[in-house]
Amino acid sequence: MNVNNEKRWYQKWWVWLIILFLIGSILNKKNENNSTNTINSSSSINKGSCSGSESCIDKVRQNFTNTGKQILSEHYLGNGKFGISFLDISRGQTYNSEVSTDCNCNILNVNVHLMR
Protein backbone atom coordinates (compact mmCIF):
# COMPACT_ATOMS: atom_id res chain seq x y z
CA MET A 1 0.00 0.00 0.00
CA ASN A 2 1.58 3.23 -1.20
CA VAL A 3 0.53 6.24 0.91
CA ASN A 4 1.39 9.65 -0.43
CA ASN A 5 2.67 11.65 2.57
CA GLU A 6 3.40 14.81 0.60
CA LYS A 7 1.66 17.86 1.95
CA ARG A 8 -0.20 20.23 -0.26
CA TRP A 9 1.33 23.70 -0.76
CA TYR A 10 -0.95 25.36 1.81
CA GLN A 11 -0.01 22.80 4.47
CA LYS A 12 3.70 23.68 4.46
CA TRP A 13 4.91 25.95 7.29
CA TRP A 14 7.23 28.03 5.13
CA VAL A 15 4.36 29.05 2.81
CA TRP A 16 2.54 30.59 5.77
CA LEU A 17 5.74 32.28 6.93
CA ILE A 18 6.13 33.95 3.54
CA ILE A 19 2.47 35.00 3.51
CA LEU A 20 2.78 36.56 6.99
CA PHE A 21 5.95 38.37 5.97
CA LEU A 22 4.28 39.82 2.87
CA ILE A 23 1.20 40.97 4.81
CA GLY A 24 3.40 42.59 7.46
CA SER A 25 5.44 44.40 4.82
CA ILE A 26 2.33 45.71 3.07
CA LEU A 27 0.78 46.97 6.32
CA ASN A 28 4.04 48.58 7.42
CA LYS A 29 4.40 50.40 4.09
CA LYS A 30 0.79 51.61 4.31
CA ASN A 31 1.40 52.99 7.85
CA GLU A 32 4.60 54.74 6.74
CA ASN A 33 2.74 56.46 3.90
CA ASN A 34 -0.05 57.62 6.21
CA SER A 35 2.32 59.02 8.84
CA THR A 36 4.43 60.81 6.22
CA ASN A 37 1.37 62.49 4.77
CA THR A 38 0.28 63.64 8.21
CA ILE A 39 3.67 65.15 9.02
CA ASN A 40 3.94 66.91 5.68
CA SER A 41 0.46 68.39 5.85
CA SER A 42 0.91 69.75 9.38
CA SER A 43 4.31 71.28 8.67
CA SER A 44 3.10 72.95 5.48
CA ILE A 45 0.24 74.55 7.41
CA ASN A 46 2.60 75.93 10.05
CA LYS A 47 5.13 77.33 7.58
CA GLY A 48 2.58 79.65 6.02
CA SER A 49 1.28 80.99 9.33
CA CYS A 50 2.44 83.92 11.44
CA SER A 51 5.57 84.11 13.57
CA GLY A 52 5.63 83.70 17.32
CA SER A 53 6.42 86.40 19.84
CA GLU A 54 8.59 86.79 22.91
CA SER A 55 5.74 85.32 24.98
CA CYS A 56 6.48 81.88 23.45
CA ILE A 57 9.59 81.50 25.64
CA ASP A 58 7.75 79.28 28.14
CA LYS A 59 6.96 76.73 25.42
CA VAL A 60 10.57 76.85 24.19
CA ARG A 61 11.88 76.34 27.74
CA GLN A 62 9.53 73.40 28.24
CA ASN A 63 10.84 71.76 25.06
CA PHE A 64 14.43 71.89 26.34
CA THR A 65 13.73 70.81 29.92
CA ASN A 66 11.54 67.91 28.74
CA THR A 67 14.51 66.52 26.82
CA GLY A 68 16.89 66.74 29.79
CA LYS A 69 18.77 69.85 28.66
CA GLN A 70 19.78 72.69 30.99
CA ILE A 71 19.35 76.18 29.53
CA LEU A 72 22.40 78.39 30.11
CA SER A 73 21.15 81.53 28.35
CA GLU A 74 18.24 82.61 26.18
CA HIS A 75 17.29 85.65 24.13
CA TYR A 76 14.56 86.63 21.70
CA LEU A 77 15.89 87.26 18.19
CA GLY A 78 12.63 88.56 16.69
CA ASN A 79 10.22 87.09 14.12
CA GLY A 80 9.39 84.14 16.38
CA LYS A 81 13.02 83.06 16.77
CA PHE A 82 14.90 82.43 20.00
CA GLY A 83 18.61 81.96 20.64
CA ILE A 84 19.21 79.33 23.31
CA SER A 85 22.51 78.13 24.77
CA PHE A 86 22.18 74.87 26.66
CA LEU A 87 24.07 72.06 28.33
CA ASP A 88 23.41 68.47 27.33
CA ILE A 89 24.02 66.89 30.72
CA SER A 90 24.26 63.34 29.36
CA ARG A 91 27.09 64.32 26.98
CA GLY A 92 28.68 67.06 29.06
CA GLN A 93 28.73 69.42 26.04
CA THR A 94 27.29 72.88 25.46
CA TYR A 95 25.36 73.91 22.37
CA ASN A 96 23.88 76.99 20.72
CA SER A 97 20.48 76.68 19.09
CA GLU A 98 18.00 78.77 17.16
CA VAL A 99 14.34 77.89 17.73
CA SER A 100 11.57 79.11 15.41
CA THR A 101 7.95 79.33 16.60
CA ASP A 102 4.60 80.18 15.02
CA CYS A 103 1.95 82.52 16.45
CA ASN A 104 0.47 79.62 18.47
CA CYS A 105 3.90 79.06 20.07
CA ASN A 106 4.33 75.74 18.25
CA ILE A 107 7.98 74.95 17.60
CA LEU A 108 8.56 74.84 13.86
CA ASN A 109 12.32 74.37 13.59
CA VAL A 110 15.38 73.90 15.82
CA ASN A 111 18.93 74.39 14.56
CA VAL A 112 21.63 73.15 16.95
CA HIS A 113 25.38 73.81 16.79
CA LEU A 114 28.15 72.68 19.14
CA MET A 115 29.45 75.65 21.14
CA ARG A 116 33.15 76.31 20.58
User: Which pLDDT tens digit goes with each residue over 67-101?
Assistant: 888 999 999 999 999 999 999 888 888 999 999 99
- Phi and psi at 115, nearest 5°, equal -75, 135
In a domain, residue 2? The reply is: no
In a domain, residue 37? The reply is: yes
Q: What total number of domains does the chain contain? A: 2
CA angle 99, 103, 107 (to 5 degrees): 30
Do residue 77 and residue 97 come from a single domain? yes
The amino acid sitting at 109 is N
41-51: average pLDDT: 55
CA atoms in the 13 A half-sphere facing the CB of 54: 5
Do residue 27 and residue 60 come from a single domain? no
- Phi and psi at 49, nearest 5°, equal -90, 180
The amino acid sitting at 105 is C
Q: Which domain, by its residues, includes 43?
A: 10-47
14-31: average pLDDT: 71
Do residue 72 and residue 88 come from a single domain? yes
End-to-end CA distance of the chain: 86
Assess contact for 71 and 79: CB atoms under 8 A. Answer: no
52 exposed, middle or buried (CB, 10 Å; 0-12, 13-18, 19+)? buried
Do residue 76 and residue 106 come from a single domain? yes
